[in-house]
């Protein structure tokens, strides 16, 4: 198995955020999220992918030490909840991640990819 470079994981994060933001229900905000089960599934899937990529960035490339301003531990723990404890998903927390944290992460990832 070939080891991926950090740019690949960063690109995965960028694409996952784009999938969430590109969904037609995204423009409706929390109401669109609440009203559409399929949009919630898109959000869950792509946040899980973001969390998986973050796990690799920290474990293999030390992003948690290089960029401590990002809450890496919370990101990686969220993947465990989404993948293994999905019945305990709290929609307030998930939507807060979408509104508050994904824009920050998006900006950082774009910066890292441009350097």
Annotate 52-88 with three-state secondary structure: HHHHHHHHHHCHHHHCCCCCHHHHHHHHHHHHHCHHH
Domain extent for 68: 6-110
Is the confidence at residue 95, as pLDDT, over 90? yes
pLDDT of residue 1: 61
Average pLDDT over residues 44-57: 97
Average pLDDT over residues 26-55: 97
Residues in CB range of 3: below 8 A, 6 or more apart: 60
Q: How many domains does the chain have?
A: 1
pLDDT of residue 22: 98
Is residue 17 domain-resident? yes
pTM for this one? 0.93
Is the confidence at residue 88, as pLDDT, over 70? yes
Is residue 1 domain-resident? no
Please, what is the average pLDDT of the chain?
A: 95
């Amino acid at each position: 198995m070939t080891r991926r470079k950090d740019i690949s994981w960063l690109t995965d994060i960028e694409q996952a955020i784009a999938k969430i933001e590109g969904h037609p229900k995204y423009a409706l905000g929390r109401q669109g999220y609440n009203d559409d089960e399929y949009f919630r599934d898109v959000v869950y899937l792509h946040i899980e992918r973001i969390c998986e990529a973050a796990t690799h960035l920290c474990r293999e490339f030390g992003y948690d030490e290089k960029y401590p301003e990002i809450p890496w531990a919370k990101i990686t723990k969220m993947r465990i909840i989404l993948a293994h404890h999905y019945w305990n998903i709290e929609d307030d927390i998930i939507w807060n991640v979408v509104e508050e944290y994904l824009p920050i992460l998006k900006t950082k990832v774009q910066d890292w990819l441009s350097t």
